[in-house]
Structure 1
């Protein structure tokens, strides 16, 4: 099970944006790869802190995390999904480090960012909405999505940027009253990639990229919620240059309404209307579930408002904690018009003792039923 993001950063849930940023910067500086070369444990902590900050620093993601926990981002989360990447961390949060490491530089772990080395740029992300019906959400589904993304055009070649000599950064030394100060910033000629266009194909843009439609297969786990975002690593736009990293495809879940079932977390609700004779005499009824219709028995004398719980007939938990339940709400339908014969019958029964309300301790009030439903 994933570690709590608040515990990773050592803060309370009430922490504001400034406290979250301060806590992350403290951890990032402590476990920064330049301070802990070849230390796998420090690398893991550095990645954990970045993942926690990526979620908690975003108000929308923080709200979803506070409500659903890690379930809101399973298969999608911050840097989750396709695994953490040092280039992701430094491209998004390099400004956190200020000048502590030569302008936010990074020198280890496979040639990512470097104070004096080449910077690997990342392409832009793409976002697509996917509509899912309740059956697909309950059981999980694999979707084939057509995505139009930017890729490097055939025949496009790049060469070393003459301005930064391939480092991706410009170093400046200035004299101050405190002495000589060195600062580094991304090269404005190549955008920090260390490369510029040498030759490009006809029809490509200024970065040598063209649009290409691809079919991407996305496995959507059971139990996703409306607004949840899944990440498909490397299926966004290509980055300019031969050493760039493609962006990601962000798949946003949109839940379609069901004609008879209402969702509440992992539970489902179904309104069952029964006639007065069925309520008195008992009956069997077919009702909808996410796995097809099931037949249930209505006991004689059922009361309107009774809730029948069908265990395990709800939505699968995205955390693999099992399935929710289907709650069937019994509503006794009272006819609005009667024939003379029917009216005469009920007039006769008005004073019959069998029709007198006689609730006992098993007949719970509305508020007790609501309490039981949420317990």
Structure 2
């Protein structure tokens, strides 16, 4: 059967080796005897494989392009003689090497330990200044008896006799293409190449034991709700003394009864009487830096804002602190005594407000309560 190998694979004469391999892989998936028992497909598969063997080899391809014979050949009596075709490449295409397997040496017993996630709640004060917290958790620690060796002290693992320490065994399997050699992890030693005949009694041959640990976590100022702090190497010790995983601490900021965080600022609402708004006043406010005085100018209006600089949150990796923003809420009395009513009526007459003139309407916006509701909703 004299066929053009390029035409057989469906590639151009200047196709790259990668293009040839892709074309062959596509054909092999539909023609391989294991997936297509049709005799005609099996016959075509032989020629497709011969074409791939020739064109994927630079020397054979050069010889073929010059019109010469390549020597090709198929195992198990296929025509052509010469060098046998490595059908393991076919299965490696199908499974990424999984069917045939390639020995990579013994599998180490040591494995990296798992990561641990713990959650803790902090106060707004901790966000402002930073803090330290002790975190306790259940984990795995290095076995003090065998120090991760997994074997009882005074004993050592012995070389596996079934795989001679390689961690892998070879098996011959019969298929439609003839005998095939496969490589698999040794079932006797689990691929480790040695066997622990006397496991450590302290850890049952694991090299680590369960324990309770407590670590101190430094919480920087300016952290957000949901921030995760990573402590490298503070997680579980790995099997057989392998490297430790990491500890992640997720922070949850508890709501504060006075302040709401907004960026680097702290916002609060201060209710003042209408007389203080009209005449001005100085009102004490408890802050994270102690008692501070809020100076209210005369003639202050509802929703006016007074800023106390440098008393807010210290941002991450910066020193300049935000501010405290005090939003004013002017309290209008709902019940008046006779004397209070007389005084207010006198004031209204003096100001000519006993019959208020029509005032200019303005578009209503969100009040103080609405703003605070929005901020609380975002927490």
The aligned residue for residue 122 of structure 2 is 132
Quote the RMSD (CA, aligned, Å): 4.6
The aligned residue for residue 225 of structure 2 is 226
Deviation at 1:358, TM superposition (A): 11
Residue by residue over 1:292-327, the C-alpha shift from the partner in whole angstroms, topping out at 9 and shown as x without a partner, is: 221121111111110112222211111427322221
Q: Aligned partners of 2:290 and 2:311: how far apart in 1? A: 10
Q: Aligned partners of 1:290 and 1:187: how far apart in 2? A: 65
TM-score by length of 2: 0.55
- SS of residue matched to 1:280: helix
Tell me the matched-pair count: 264
- SS of residue matched to 1:342: helix
The aligned residue for residue 343 of structure 2 is 345
The aligned residue for residue 213 of structure 1 is 212
Residue by residue over 1:58-113, the C-alpha shift from the partner in whole angstroms, topping out at 9 and shown as x without a partner, is: xxxxxxxxxxxxxxxxxxxxxxxxxxxxxxxxxxxxxxxx969xxxx9xxxxxxxx
Q: Aligned partners of 1:304 and 1:125: how far apart in 2? A: 52
Q: Aligned partners of 1:227 and 1:221: how far apart in 2? A: 14
Q: Where in structure 2 are the equivalents of 1:274-353 lying within 5 Å? A: 274-320=272-318, 322-353=320-351
Preserved contact between residue 260 and residue 288 of structure 1 (Cα < 8 Å): no
Q: 1:269 to 1:359 in 2, by over 3 A?
A: farther
Q: Where in structure 2 are the equivalents of 1:152-231 lying within 5 Å? A: 152-156=142-146, 157-158=150-151, 159=157, 162=160, 199-202=198-201, 204=203, 207-231=206-230
- SS of residue matched to 2:345: helix
Q: Aligned partners of 2:349 and 2:135: how far apart in 1? A: 66
Deviation at 1:175, TM superposition (A): 11
Q: Aligned partners of 1:145 and 1:230: how far apart in 2? A: 12
Q: Where in structure 2 are the equivalents of 1:24-103 lying within 5 Å? A: none
Deviation at 1:240, TM superposition (A): 0.9
Q: Aligned partners of 1:265 and 1:190: how far apart in 2? A: 58
The aligned residue for residue 265 of structure 2 is 267
Preserved contact between residue 155 and residue 201 of structure 1 (Cα < 8 Å): yes
Preserved contact between residue 200 and residue 208 of structure 1 (Cα < 8 Å): no
- SS of residue matched to 2:239: coil
Residue by residue over 1:105-144, the C-alpha shift from the partner in whole angstroms, topping out at 9 and shown as x without a partner, is: 9xxxxxxxx9657655211111211211111111111223
Q: 1:191 to 1:117 in 2, by over 3 A?
A: closer
Q: 1:251 to 1:194 in 2, by over 3 A?
A: farther
Q: Whose radius of gyration is greater, 1 or 2?
A: 2
Preserved contact between residue 221 and residue 318 of structure 1 (Cα < 8 Å): yes
Q: Aligned partners of 1:213 and 1:200: how far apart in 2? A: 23
The aligned residue for residue 84 of structure 1 is none
The aligned residue for residue 68 of structure 2 is none
Unaligned runs of 5+ in 1: 1-97, 106-113
Unaligned runs of 5+ in 2: 1-94, 152-156
TM-score by length of 1: 0.55
Preserved contact between residue 303 and residue 367 of structure 2 (Cα < 8 Å): no
Q: Aligned partners of 1:220 and 1:264: how far apart in 2? A: 19
The aligned residue for residue 13 of structure 1 is none
Deviation at 1:174, TM superposition (A): 9.7
Q: Aligned partners of 1:203 and 1:166: how far apart in 2? A: 26
Q: Aligned partners of 1:183 and 1:342: how far apart in 2? A: 101
Q: Aligned partners of 1:346 and 1:246: how far apart in 2? A: 75
